[in-house]
């Protein structure tokens, strides 16, 4: 990557980041199962520490799995933090591991999905799994013309490592605000790694059901597909329970998509993602405030961040908060 090094990367304020990266590199030199068990154990203990994102996780699980008991959701939350901690090590592992080492950890299903798309561009829909970073690397190993949507990070060291990693593994990276660039790439029969399950705010979203909740959902997917003359393929990626590796499945292209009805098209993608997430719900990013933006007149689901000192009270009152 021929790029001028940002001097901010070496300011004293960045040294803790470099130290952490060094430790992560050392840990991921261990056998795969060893460092994954380290992450799992760390995540288990973190799940007991009161903090804001733990409140967010419990609220999300309450909203999306109301049929489960509070004890079952608490168990899911702990498994979710174990998975998140493992994902931190997986991200480092995906940055530094060789292709040979990674290939021995993945089983791929429907690897010839590109042939089914009849030489169209492909919008590869990927939910925010914890295994997102390593699955991106695994997808890039499988798809030679894979590009990714890119969002800069505010921290210089993380931005440097993230961009370096993306440019090394993907054909191109496109800023998430560059819709015209995405359309051009799809029209040129490219393949775009795209994550639609984000809260982009009211201006960029349409309210559609996701886990039965009216959710601010990215409205651009059907438009990208239509203008890019592309096909939609969903990716299902998960970590095996025995920590022996990953399963990566590419769906058949969605038929009759888009339909011309934006709400119907967005809900169809949401429904498809939900079905995949429900298979291994503990491996989804429930720590994210997915339901932050509400329809007019609806109350907020999440407490304000300024109440962090009162987290214990919020944890005890999560059930009352949602009623």
- pLDDT tens by residue, 144-162: 899 998 887 777 877 778 7
Q: Token pair for residue 38?
A: 């380290």
User: Which distant-in-sequence residues (6+ apart) come within 8 Å of 224 by Cβ?
Assistant: 123, 179, 182, 183, 186, 194, 230
**pLDDT tens for residues 230-251?**
999 999 999 999 999 999 999 9
Q: Which of 55, 44, 33, 193 is nearest to 129 (CA)?
A: 193
Is 323 within a domain? no
Percent of the chain whose pLDDT exceeds 70? 93
Cβ neighbours, 10 Å, residue 30: 13
Question: Residue 201 domain-assigned?
Answer: yes
Each residue's pLDDT tens digit, 47-78: 999 999 999 999 999 999 999 999 999 999 99
Tokens for 86, please give them.
């493992």
Count of domains observed in the chain: 1
The Cα–Cα gap between 50 and 46 comes to 9
In a domain, 267, yes or no: yes
For 171, the 3-state DSSP assignment is coil
Query: What percent of the chain has a predicted confidence (pLDDT) above 90?
Result: 71
Decide if 35 is inside a domain: yes
Q: Containing domain of residue 148, as a range?
A: 9-318
Q: How does pLDDT run across 118-132, given as a tens digit for each residue?
A: 889 999 999 999 999
> Is 294 a domain residue?
yes
In terms of phi and psi (left: phi > 0; alpha: psi -120 to 50; beta: otherwise), the region of 218 is beta
Domain membership of residue 137 (yes or no) is yes
User: Would 2 be classed as within a structural domain?
Assistant: no
Q: Shortest CA distance to 141 belongs to which of 170, 107, 161, 166?
A: 170
| Residue at 206 is within a domain | yes
């Amino acid at each position: 990557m021929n790029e001028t090094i940002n001097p901010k990367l070496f300011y004293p304020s960045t040294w803790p980041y470099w130290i952490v990266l060094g430790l992560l590199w050392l840990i991921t030199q261990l056998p795969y199962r060893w460092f994954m068990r380290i992450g799992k154990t760390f995540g288990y203990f973190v799940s007991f520490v009161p903090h804001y994102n733990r409140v967010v996780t419990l609220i999300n699980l309450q909203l999306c799995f109301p049929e489960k008991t509070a004890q079952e959701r608490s168990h899911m939350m702990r498994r979710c933090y174990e998975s998140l901690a493992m994902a931190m090590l997986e991200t480092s592992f995906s940055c530094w591991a060789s292709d040979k080492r990674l290939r021995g950890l993945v089983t791929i299903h429907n690897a010839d999905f590109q042939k089914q798309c009849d030489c169209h561009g492909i919008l590869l829909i990927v939910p925010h799994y914890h295994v997102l970073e390593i699955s991106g690397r695994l997808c890039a190993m499988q798809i030679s013309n894979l590009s990714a949507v890119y969002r800069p990070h505010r921290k210089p060291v993380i931005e440097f490592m993230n961009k370096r990693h993306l440019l090394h593994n993907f054909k191109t990276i496109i800023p998430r605000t560059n819709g015209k660039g995405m359309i051009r790439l799809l029209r040129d029969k490219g393949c775009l790694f795209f994550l639609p399950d984000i809260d982009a705010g009211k201006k960029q979203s349409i309210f559609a059901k996701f886990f039965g909740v009216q959710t601010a959902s990215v409205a651009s997917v059907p438009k990208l597909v239509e203008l890019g003359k592309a096909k939609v393929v969903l990716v299902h990626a998960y970590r095996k329970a025995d920590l022996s590796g990953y399963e990566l499945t590419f769906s058949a292209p969605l038929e009759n998509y888009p339909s011309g009805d934006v709400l119907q098209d967005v809900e169809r993608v949401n429904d498809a993602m939900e079905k995949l997430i429900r298979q291994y719900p503990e491996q989804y990013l429930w720590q994210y405030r997915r339901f932050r933006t509400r329809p007019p007149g609806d109350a907020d689901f999440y407490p304000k961040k300024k109440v962090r000192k009162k987290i214990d009270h919020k944890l005890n009152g999560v059930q009352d908060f949602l009623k």
